[in-house]
C-alpha cells in the first residue's frame, strides 16, 4: 500500500474544477436565453466542428450511437446489407448496424487493436455494403488500404470515430475519410459534453440535410413532417458546453499525448506491449491501452496501490449474448479474443500529474519485477 492520494481512472470532478467558470457561464447564458432545444449554439457548433474536421457539414446529435445509425440509414444501408467492422469495439458499433436491420460482419484486428484490411477483404460477400473502421483508442485505422478496398468494391465507408476527435492520419483528420464520420461526445471522451451527445460529419450536403431531418421527426417546418423520424437532437446546453470544449481541445490533447509519451518512456517493454506510434499518425489517446500477461493480476495489483484502470473491452462483440443470433463461437476472431484477455487501459486523463504517471508506471514495472 502507499500513502498518496488514489489515482482515478477518470476524474470528472478534477476536470470540472479546471473548467468550472467557463462552463457555468455558458450554461447560464443558455438558461437565461431560454432556448433549450435548437438555436444558434447548435448551428454554430456544427459549423465549428465541420471547420475543425475539414469537411463541409456536421450534424449535431444526441449520441455517437445515433450518429452511426442515422448516418448509415441515410446512406441507404438497411435490411440484409452487410457492414464489416472489428469485433473489439464498444457494443454500440455493432448495435447501430443491427438496429437498422443490417448485418454486422466482423473482421479481426491487428496488434494496434484496429481492423486488419486483409481480414476485411476476406470478409467481403456480394451483400457487403459498407466498411466501418473503428478508430479505437484515438488511433485512426489504416485508412489507405481500407479506402482502396472500398473503392475497388464500390463500398461505403462509415467511420466510427467516436474515440478519435482530432486524431490525424497522414494529415487528414478523423471524420474526413468516410462517407460519414460518426462521433460520440459522451462525458468520458476527450471532447466531451455533460451528458450524452454526438455528431456526424460529411461532405455530402444532401446527406447532412437528411440526417438533420431524421433527428427531428422528419420535420421541415412547423407541424410538417416529410418522413417519420426520431428524436436524436443534441441539447442546446450540450452544444454550448461543447463550443467551449472545442476551444480547449488542443490543450487537452497535448496533455494526454504528453502523458502517453511519459508512459512510453517509463514502462518496461520487456513486459508491456504498447502498439508503437507511426510517423504519419497523430493519436489523441482517448485511452492508453497496454497488452500484458497476467492482466487480471496486474489490475488487482494496481487497485491495491489505489490506481484505477479499465478494460476496453473484456468480451468481444461477437461473443456477447446480444450477438448470439449471428452464430459465432470462441476462436472465430483469435487476435481480438487473445487481446481481450491481455488489454488494460491505464489512467491517461489530462488532470494527472507527472508524479501520478510515474506512480502508475512504477507500480506496473514493480509488478513484473
List of residues contacting ligand PLP (CB under 6 A): 63-65, 89-90, 92-93, 134, 160, 162-163, 184, 186, 196, 198
Q: Please state at what angle helix 236-266 crosses helix 12-33, rounded to 10 degrees.
A: 160
Q: In what order do the strands lie in the sheet with 172-173?
A: 172-173, 168-169, 281-282
Residue 8: partners with Cβ closer than 8 Å, 6 or more residues away: 14, 308, 347
Residue 37: phi and psi, rounded to 5, are -125, 125
Q: Say whether 334 sits in a helix, a strand or coil.
A: helix
Contact 350, 284 (CB under 8 A): no
Q: What's the closest the beta carbon of residue 313 comes to ligand PLP, in angstroms?
A: 9
Please identify, using beta-carbon distances, which residue of 163 and 201 lies nearer to ligand PLP: 163
Q: Please state at what angle helix 354-368 crosses helix 295-304, rounded to 10 degrees.
A: 130
Q: How far apart are CA 30 and CA 33, in angstroms?
A: 5
- Cell numbers describing residue 141: 485505422
Looking from the CA of 204 toward its CB, the CA atoms found within 13 Å total: 16
Peptide bond between residue 313 and the one before it cis (omega within 30 degrees of 0):
yes
Report the residue closest to ligand PLP, judged by CB.
64
Q: Say whether 193 sits in a helix, a strand or coil.
A: coil
- Tell me which residue of 74, 45, 82, 73 sits closest to 60, measured CA to CA: 45
Please identify, using beta-carbon distances, which residue of 202 and 232 lies nearer to ligand PLP: 232
DSSP per-residue letters across 74-104: HTT--TT-EEEE-TTS-HHHHHHHHHTT-EE
Cβ burial of 80 (10 Å; 0-12, 13-18, 19+) is exposed
Please identify, using beta-carbon distances, which residue of 87 and 198 lies nearer to ligand PLP: 198
Contact 39, 236 (CB under 8 A): yes
Please identify, using beta-carbon distances, which residue of 92 and 239 lies nearer to ligand PLP: 92
Looking from the CA of 304 toward its CB, the CA atoms found within 13 Å total: 11
- Cell numbers describing residue 225: 413532417
Q: What is the largest CA-CA distance in the chain?
A: 68
Please identify, using beta-carbon distances, which residue of 58 and 298 lies nearer to ligand PLP: 58
Please identify, using beta-carbon distances, which residue of 86 and 298 lies nearer to ligand PLP: 86
Amino acid at each position: 500500500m502507499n500513502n498518496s492520494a488514489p489515482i482515478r481512472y477518470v476524474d470528472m470532478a478534477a476536470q470540472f474544477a479546471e473548467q468550472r467558470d467557463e462552463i457555468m457561464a455558458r450554461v447560464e447564458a443558455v438558461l437565461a436565453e431560454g432556448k433549450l432545444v435548437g438555436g444558434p449554439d447548435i448551428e454554430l457548433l456544427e459549423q465549428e466542428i465541420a471547420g475543425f474536421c475539414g469537411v463541409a457539414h456536421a450534424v449535431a446529435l444526441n449520441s455517437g450511437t445515433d450518429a452511426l445509425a442515422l448516418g448509415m440509414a441515410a446512406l441507404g444501408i438497411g435490411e440484409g446489407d452487410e457492414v464489416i467492422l472489428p469485433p473489439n469495439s464498444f457494443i454500440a458499433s455493432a448495435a447501430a448496424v443491427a438496429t437498422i436491420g443490417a448485418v454486422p460482419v466482423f473482421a479481426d484486428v491487428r496488434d494496434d487493436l484496429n481492423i486488419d484490411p486483409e481480414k476485411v477483404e476476406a470478409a467481403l460477400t456480394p451483400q457487403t455494403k459498407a466498411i466501418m473502421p473503428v478508430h479505437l483508442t484515438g488511433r485512426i485505422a489504416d485508412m489507405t488500404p481500407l479506402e482502396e478496398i472500398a473503392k475497388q468494391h464500390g463500398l461505403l465507408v462509415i467511420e466510427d470515430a467516436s474515440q478519435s476527435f482530432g486524431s490525424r492520419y497522414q494529415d487528414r483528420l478523423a471524420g474526413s475519410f468516410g462517407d460519414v464520420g460518426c462521433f460520440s461526445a459522451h462525458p468520458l471522451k476527450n471532447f466531451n459534453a455533460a451528458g450524452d451527445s454526438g455528431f456526424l460529419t460529411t461532405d455530402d450536403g444532401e446527406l447532412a440535410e437528411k440526417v438533420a431531418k431524421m433527428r427531428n421527426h422528419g420535420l421541415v417546418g412547423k407541424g410538417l413532417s416529410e418522413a417519420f423520424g426520431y428524436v436524436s437532437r443534441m441539447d442546446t446546453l450540450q452544444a454550448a458546453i461543447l463550443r467551449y470544449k472545442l476551444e480547449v481541445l488542443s490543450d487537452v490533447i497535448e496533455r494526454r499525448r504528453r502523458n502517453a509519451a511519459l508512459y512510453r518512456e517509463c514502462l518496461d517493454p520487456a513486459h508491456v506491449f504498447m502498439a508503437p506510434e507511426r510517423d504519419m499518425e497523430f493519436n489523441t489517446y482517448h485511452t492508453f491501452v497496454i497488452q500484458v500477461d497476467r492482466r487480471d493480476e496486474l489490475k488487482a495489483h494496481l487497485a491495491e496501490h489505489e490506481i484505477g484502470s479499465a478494460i476496453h473491452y473484456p468480451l468481444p462483440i461477437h461473443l456477447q449474448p446480444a450477438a448470439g443470433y449471428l452464430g459465432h463461437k470462441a476462436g472465430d476472431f483469435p487476435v481480438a479474443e487473445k487481446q481481450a484477455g491481455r488489454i488494460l487501459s491505464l489512467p491517461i486523463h489530462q488532470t494527472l500529474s507527472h508524479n501520478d504517471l510515474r506512480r502508475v508506471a512504477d507500480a506496473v514495472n514493480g509488478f513484473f519485477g
